[in-house]
Amino acid sequence: MAKVIDSIKTSNPQFKALHLRLLLSYLGVMMTILGMSAIAVYEFFATSIYQQLDEHLMNVAKTAIPTLEVVKHEYYEYLEKNEESEEEKAEKSKPNNEENIHKMMRENAIEVINYELTYGTFPANSKNHTHGMEWFDDYGRLMIKQGNLFPHWYLQEKGEIRDIKQVQSPGIRTLILPVYNENELSGYIRVNESTIPIESTLKKLQLGLGLGGVIALGLTAIGGMWLTRQSVKPIENSFEQLKQFTADASHELRSPLTAIKTSVDVMQSHPERIHPADVKKFGAIVSATKQMTELVEDLLLLTRIDSEKIILKQNWIVIPLEEILEDLLDLWELQAEAKKITLKGNLACDISVMGDGAKLTRLFSNLIGNAIQYTPEGGKITVSILRQNRFAIIKVEDTGIGMTPEESQQVFNRFWRADKARNRRDGGLGMGLAIAHSIVQNHRGEISVTSQAGVGSCFQVKLPLSS
C-alpha cells in the first residue's frame, strides 16, 4: 500500500487533481455497489427468516384448530356454572380450571400441541419468554392461554379480523388465525413467538456486513489507487512527451526566427534596395516574425512554469505587490490614454507575498493589458488590492465587452479566444490568460473571473501573504 501511495505522491503534480477525481469516482461507485449489495443481502436474509417464522407460526396455529371447539365448550360451561356478577365475569378472561380443560381435550382424543416437540418446554415461571398460544371465542374474548409470551393488547383492539393477520410488536411476532365452522366464525387462535433471537442474529449480520464492507472498502481503495495510477500513466507520458516536444520545437524555432528577423531588419535599414512593390511584403514578414517570436517565447515560458511546479522554488523572495502594480500602471498609462480609457489604482500598502518578481509582473501585466485591449474608448479600468485574512486579493475590473458564462469557463485555456475578441485584437494568440493562470497556480494561489457580456469583467487573483 505504501508503494502505491508513494507512486501517486511522486507523480506529476499537474495530474494530482485527475488522480483524486478518478479515485473518488471509483470509490464512490464501489461504495454504492457495496452498500446496495449489503442492504440487499440483509433485506433478503431478514425477509427469509421472518417468512420462515410466519410459516412456523401458521403450522402451529393450524395444529391447534381442532382444540378450539373443546375449549369453547368448556369455557361456556364454566361461565354458566359460575354465579359471579356480569361485571366480574367480564374482568376474568380465562377460567381457573385449565387443567380440567386439558384433561377434557385428552379424554375426547383431540390432539393438543406438543410444545416440548415444537418449541421445547416452557414452564409457567420461566424467565426466558419465548412463545405462547391463546384461544379466543368469536367475540374476541380470551378463553385460555398456554406458554409465557403474550402481547400487551387485546384482540378487540385490532378490530374485526376475518383473515390471517401478522402483527409485529416490540420483541414479539404474532399470528392471528380466524377459525371458521361451516363458513361461520368460530373463534381465533393467536400464536406468539419471541423475535429476540432473530433480532440478535440480524444484529450480528449487520456487524458482519459492516466489518466486511470496511475491509472491502480498504481493499477497494488500494486497488483504486493502483488502477487510477495505471490509467493516468499513459496520459502523463503523452503529456510529458508533448511538453518536451513543445519545449524542443520552441527552442529550435528561435534560431530561424532570429535569422529571419535580422535579415529583414538589415534589408529595411537600406530601403533604397527594396522595390516599392515589395515594401508591404516586408511589412507582413516583420509582423508574422514578431507574432511567431511572441508565441515561441510564451510556449517556452509555459514549459518552464510547468517544470517549476514539480519542485518548490527555494529562491522566492518577499514581493511588495503595491510596488509592482504601481510600476505597471505607469507602464500601461500611455496605451490607456491613447484609447481614452481611465486607468486608476486603489492600492493598499504593506501587502507582500512570497514569489518570483518577474513572473508576478508578467501575471499582472497580462491582466491589465487584456483589460485595455477589450475595453472600448471612454471605458474605465480599476486595479485594486486588499488584505483578506491570510491572503492578498488583487482585482482588475474593466467596463469592456465582457463575456458570457460559457466563455468565462474557457478563458484560461491555452490558445482559446472568443470570436469577438479575434476581431478586436490584432496579433492576439490566446496565451496571455493561460500564462497568468499558470503563474498563479505556481504561486499556490487562485484566479477567477466574473463577467457579463456588454458590461465588463473582473479578474481576481488570490495569493497567500508572506509570513
pLDDT for position 204: 93
The pLDDT of residue 126? 40
What is the per-residue pLDDT for 421? Answer: 45
Q: Please, what CATH class does the domain formed by 317-464 belong to?
A: alpha beta
Question: Between 418 and 266, where is the model more confident?
Answer: 266
How far is the C-alpha of 356 from the C-alpha of 216, rounded, in Å? 47
Q: What is the pLDDT of residue 182?
A: 84
123-127, 130-134, 333-337: least confident range: 123-127
- The amino acid occupying position 214 is V
Q: What is the mean pLDDT of residues 96-114?
A: 45
- Rounded Cα distance between 65 and 45, Å, is 31
**pLDDT level of residue 392 (50, 70, 90 thresholds):** very high
Sheet with 380-388, side-by-side order of all strands: 342-347, 380-388, 391-398, 456-464, 446-452
419-451: pLDDT as tens digits: 544 444 454 556 778 888 888 888 889 999 999
> What is the pLDDT averaged over residues 94-106?
50
Which pLDDT belongs to residue 15?
65
What is the C-alpha to C-alpha distance for residues 46 and 66, in angstroms, rounded to an integer?
32
Mean pLDDT, residues 400-411 taken together: 85
**How confident is residue 24, by pLDDT bands cut at 50, 70 and 90?**
confident
- Pairing mode, if any, of strands 380-388 and 342-347? parallel
Query: What distance lies between CA 409 and its chain's CA centroid?
Result: 22
Residue 7 has pLDDT above 50, yes or no: no
Instruction: Record the pTM.
Output: 0.48
pLDDT at 117 over 60: no
Q: Is pLDDT at 86 greater than 70 in this prediction?
A: no
The mean per-residue pLDDT over the stretch 155-160 comes to: 62
The dihedrals phi and psi of 190, each to the nearest 5 degrees, come to -115, 125
Confidence check: pLDDT of 6 > 50: no
Q: Looking at residues 457-461, what average pLDDT do you find?
A: 93
The three-state (H, E, C) secondary structure of 202-254, written as one string: HHHHHHHHHHHHHHHHHHHHHHHHHHHHHHHHHHHHHHHHHHHHHHHHHHHHH
Taking only the tens place, the pLDDT of each residue in 159-214 is: 567 788 888 888 899 999 999 988 888 899 999 999 999 999 999 999 999 898 88
- Percent of the chain exceeding pLDDT 90 equals 24
pLDDT given for residue 447 in this prediction? 92
Q: Can you give the residue ranges of every domain in the chain?
A: 27-201, 317-464
- Residue 84: is its pLDDT beyond 90? no
Top-confidence range, 26-30, 266-270, 458-462: 458-462
Q: Which of the given ranges, 152-156, 263-267, 378-382, 410-414, has the highest pLDDT on average?
A: 378-382
Lowest mean pLDDT among 22-26, 133-137, 321-325, 329-333: 22-26
Burial of 328 (0-12, 13-18, 19+ CB in 10 A): buried
Report the pLDDT averaged over residues 326-354. Answer: 89
Q: Which residue has the higher pLDDT, 240 or 275?
A: 275
So what's the pLDDT on residue 56? Answer: 92
Report which of residues 173 and 127 the model is more confident about. 173
